[in-house]
Amino acid sequence: MKIENTGNGAPQYAVDKADLVVEELVEGGLTRLAALYYSTLPTKVGHVRSLRTTDIGIAKPVGGKVVASGGAAKSARALDNAGVRTFGMSSPGFSRDGKAAPYNVIVNLKTLGESAKKNSIPGPYLTWTPQKDGEESASPTPEPSDSASAAPEPKKTKKASVRFSNSTATNWKFAGGHWTRKNGHSAPGQEFEADSLIVMFCQVGDAGYRDPAGNPVPETVIEGSGRAVVLHDGTATEATWNKPSLDDTISFETEDGKPLTIEPGKTWLEMVPKGAGRVDY
């Protein structure tokens, strides 16, 4: 689901019911959410906005279908050519509330889901930490060896600020076992509680068209590798992310080259532009 992430589209409904959320850069230095729903299909999600070519790399790892209020013809063709199914205003479950357009689109995802053809999921979205029957999940601790130094200890932190542009930053606080946005736009009591918050620095290119206001539309390339910061359980670990193609699972490794798995649970991914973006924790 493509969800507006500015005050114009507030309040956001049912973001807290998503299993995984991606925050992506859009035109004007603003951001938009791509919320992935699997465990629960809420009856009121929104406010729904248009798709972007970036959504190909977001949806493909799990064969996701993109639900949006529309999109530029070039973006729609790109998703279609990539084999990503999209649902728009003519699909079941769409409606409008009393807000001004284009910030007034609501979707009953349960109704929409009943009309959507089921498909298999190619693989996991992230490299999760395996869980043993009857045991709590735990991140593996790399053993030091004579040939390699021990991995740096994660930094303890309870705050993080993720900057996408001069005008947009998302601030986070760790409390009660979860990372929660402090400047989000969710309806009261519906803020997403992330078990893991992951910041990925990605290349950003030009999508090849402009929005109605004349702003160039960016395309975040969720492919290749780059710096990552994994925040979990009140700690931050510097890492590298790897995703060989748009279809692949995202994997991570620590600064010393050891695999870094992600604890199963609700996850928020910040796709920050390399160079222009930053994270402070």
The pLDDT of residue 132 is 76
77-98 confidence digits (pLDDT tens):
999 999 999 999 999 999 999 9
10-47 confidence digits (pLDDT tens):
999 999 999 999 999 999 999 999 999 999 999 999 99
Spans of all domains in the chain: 2-280
pTM for this prediction: 0.92
Question: Does residue 141 register a pLDDT over 90?
Answer: no
Is the bond leading into 102 cis (omega within 30 degrees of zero)? yes
For 2-280, CATH gives 3.50.90.10
198-221 confidence digits (pLDDT tens):
999 999 999 888 887 888 899 999
Measured CA to CA, the distance from residue 2 to residue 121 in angstroms comes to 20
Other Cβ atoms closer than 10 A to 153: 8
What tokens appear for 169 in the block? 């930053």
